Amino acid sequence: MTRQHDTLAAGAITSKSGWATLPWGGSRSAGTPIVAECLRLRGGAAGYAQYHTPFTRRRDALAYKAMMMGDARRLMPRPPLQSSR
């Protein structure tokens, strides 16, 4: 979901592994625990889990997806308005 959001924002496609190496300075997802947890799991689950239960991880994942989808709607190009002539 984050890669698709970044594609809309930047206008360029980013690979899964490439996104993880980008600097997070301008990203709204910078520093969010759910993104760090996803990257930890994608990297082979090294280190400790950031969530004590799967339910809190699920809650944060759903909230993160909702935030990304809302922001993606804002970034989507809008078709030009048709004149009524």
50 in any annotated domain: yes
Q: What span, in angstroms and rounded, lies between the C-alpha atoms of 70 and 53?
A: 26
Q: How far is CA 31 from CA 38, 78, 84, in A?
A: 12, 30, 47
Global pTM reads 0.66
Q: How many domains does the chain have?
A: 1
Digits of tens for pLDDT over the chain (85 positions)?
777 777 777 777 877 666 665 554 445 555 578 888 887 887 777 777 889 998 999 999 999 888 888 888 887 777 766 766 6
CA dist 4 to 1, 8, 54, 80, Å? 5, 6, 25, 23
Helix (H) or strand (E) holding 19, with range, is: helix 16-21
In a domain, 61, yes or no: yes
Provide the residue range defining the domain that includes 69: 32-73
> Considering the domain boundaries, does residue 65 fall inside one?
yes
